[in-house]
């Protein structure tokens, strides 16, 4: 059972658990032999494996094609996942879900294998010898979802009251699975989550594991300058934060980081060539959404006066800092969607359809990198 009751359907789902899976212990007296076990469940439910500690493979055949997402709600205690014999995921912690996206799956029947491990070992901070039994198995449901090339990662809805009326602020993350072409050149557009913590994970993995050299972030921001208008485009020069991202990362007392001058130069040249106006300046990278702060003016008054902070967003510092740390390049373009100074904000429809200048600048610049 995926959930107690269904409230909505986002995309096509198939639960693989709630049925018998083939189980194969990897060591001990019955190593290599095949048994049928009910899932979700643990191998300790079978009389022959009541005290088995080691690795075991759970195996299930299923039909799929195209782009799919495989989500495991919980595997005890360490899991390595294989699709048709190829490792696609590894996860530690029995009590947290994890997922993996597999693209271009050929139509037909496929084999999903989950190697579970309930042994104590040094790599596990909590998984040490103790007085409780650490069960092994596919302890929570496994689901296969069919994806489109464009899909929602999440939708967050935050309600709030203003002037005795209720409003909802909705934020979404949309992922693009496939690369596309812009003027004959292949490009990839990724979404990232909200905040420096999320950006830190996304950009680090892109730089470190996927050999990405350049990232141009695009996003929305609030204006702190009277000179800025709604829909103005900002090219970020420096990002300032009051937070401790740098200290947590590598014990550095750093709160101001610059973007890539090389990428910014490319963007400025594209702007001139395409007659797209922009404002270059420094922004605040905040840990908190300033629209919810108790006193945003108190925050603004704390800014170092020489920085002339003109806007606020929540991700650029982490991006610039890790780019510099890893010897890569990063830049950031922002569109003003609200202004504290002028008490203005754009509509949800405008957020969807009216950010073309920023997007065009980013795409045209990416073609020249």
User: Which residues are CB-neighbours of 321 under 8 A, at least 6 positions away?
Assistant: 245, 246, 249, 254, 257
Rounded CA separation 84/103 (Å): 13
Contact 102, 66 (CB under 8 A): no
Peptide bond into 76 cis (omega under 30): no
Rounded CA separation 259/228 (Å): 21
- The reply to whether 163 belongs to the active site is no
Rounded CA separation 226/237 (Å): 18
84, 306, 338, 350: the active-site residue: 338
Residue 217, phi then psi, degrees to nearest 5: -85, 140
Rounded CA separation 361/133 (Å): 57
Give a three-class secondary structure readout of 78-115: EEEEEECCEEEEEEECCCCCEEEEEEEEEEEEEEEEEE
User: Which residues are CB-neighbours of 276 under 8 A, at least 6 positions away?
Assistant: 233, 270, 357, 360, 361
3-state secondary structure of 245: helix
Contact 146, 66 (CB under 8 A): yes
- String of DSSP letters for 325-361: HTT-EEEEEEEEEEETTTTEE--HHHHHHS-HHHHHH
Rounded CA separation 51/136 (Å): 10
Give a three-class secondary structure readout of 178-190: CCEEECCEEECCC
Helix (H) or strand (E) holding 263: helix 261-274
Catalytic residues: 338
């Amino acid at each position: 059972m995926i959930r107690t009751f269904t409230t909505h359907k986002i995309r096509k789902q198939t639960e693989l658990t709630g049925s018998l899976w083939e189980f194969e212990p990897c060591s001990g007296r019955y190593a290599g032999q095949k048994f049928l076990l009910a899932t979700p469940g643990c191998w300790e439910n079978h009389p022959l494996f009541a005290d088995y500690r080691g690795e075991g493979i759970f195996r299930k055949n299923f039909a799929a094609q195209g782009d799919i997402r495989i989500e495991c709600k919980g595997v005890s205690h360490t899991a390595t996942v294989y699709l048709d014999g190829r490792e696609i995921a590894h996860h530690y912690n029995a009590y947290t879900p994890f997922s993996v996206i597999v693209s271009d799956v050929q139509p037909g029947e496929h084999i999903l294998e989950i190697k579970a491990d309930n042994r104590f070992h040094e790599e596990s901070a909590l998984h040490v010898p103790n007085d409780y039994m650490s069960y092994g198995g596919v302890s929570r449901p496994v689901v296969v979802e069919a994806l489109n090339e464009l899909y929602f990662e999440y939708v967050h809805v935050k309600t709030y009251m203003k002037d005795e009326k209720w409003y909802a602020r909705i934020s979404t993350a949309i992922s693009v699975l496939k690369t596309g072409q812009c003027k004959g050149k292949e490009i990839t557009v990724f979404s990232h989550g909200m905040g420096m913590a999320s950006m830190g994970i996304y950009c680090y993995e892109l730089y470190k594991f996927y050999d990405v050299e350049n990232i141009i972030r695009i996003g929305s921001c609030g204006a702190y300058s009277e000179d800025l208008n709604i829909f103005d485009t900002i090219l970020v020069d420096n990002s300032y934060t009051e937070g401790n991202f740098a200290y947590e990362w590598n014990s550095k007392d750093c709160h101001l980081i610059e973007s890539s001058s090389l990428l910014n130069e490319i963007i400025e040249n594209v702007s001139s060539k395409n007659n797209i106006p922009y404002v270059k300046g420094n922004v605040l990278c905040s840990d908190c959404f300033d629209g919810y702060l108790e006193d945003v003016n108190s925050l603004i008054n704390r800014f170092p006066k020489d920085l002339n902070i003109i806007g606020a967003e929540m991700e650029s510092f982490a991006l610039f800092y890790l780019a510099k740390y890893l010897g890569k390049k990063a830049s950031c373009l922002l569109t003003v969607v609200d202004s504290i100074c002028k008490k203005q904000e754009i509509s949800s429809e405008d957020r969807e359809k009216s950010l073309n200048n920023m997007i065009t600048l980013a795409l045209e610049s990416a073609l020249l990198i």
